[in-house]
Amino acid sequence: MEPIRRQRLAEVLREELEEIINYELQDPRIGDVVVSEVLFPGGSKHARVRILVPPGSQPQRTIAALRHARGYIRYLLATRLSLHHIPELEFEPAVSEQVAAHMKALLRRIRKGRPRDQQEPSSVSESAEDPDELL
């Protein structure tokens, strides 16, 4: 498939999937999720859908519910889109905001040349003065 067509198809699928997941599925295990991206690793027959789950939710439970509803989601996509073939959907969690923040902190520490055992200056001032409270 051509790269431009693949990008357009991925964006259309992302928008439709986000609308279907957030407004048409009635599963209580699925909260407000964001479809961060749709990838076609080998072609247009399989799509990898990356889902961003809000903090406080259970990502594995949400992914399991989406996998359970995969056939119904494909049916809804087929009724909305005029595609010859609706790709098989594989849901996976995207990098969460917490992990992204942790990665940024690690990169910041690397840039500063700070060893792992030293704390950030902001967290040192916030820590308790009693060493027993740190345990």
DSSP 6-59: HHHHHHHHHHHHHHHHHHT---TT--S-EEEEEE-SSSSSEEEEEEEPPTTS-H
User: For the chain, first and last CA: distance in Å?
Assistant: 56
Q: Could you give the CA distance from residue 70 to residue 30 in angstroms, rounded to a whole number?
A: 13
Percentage of the chain beyond pLDDT 70 is 79
All domains of the chain, ordered by start, with CATH? 3-98 (3.30.300.20)
**pLDDT greater than 50 at residue 131:** no
Q: Is 18 a residue whose pLDDT tops 50?
A: yes
Maximum Cα–Cα distance across the chain? 67
Across the chain, what does the average pLDDT equal? Answer: 81
Q: What is the pLDDT of residues 34-75, one digit of tens each?
A: 899 999 887 778 999 999 887 777 888 999 999 999 999 999
- Where does the pLDDT of residue 116 fall: very low under 50, low under 70, confident under 90, or very high at 90 and above? low
DSSP 133: G
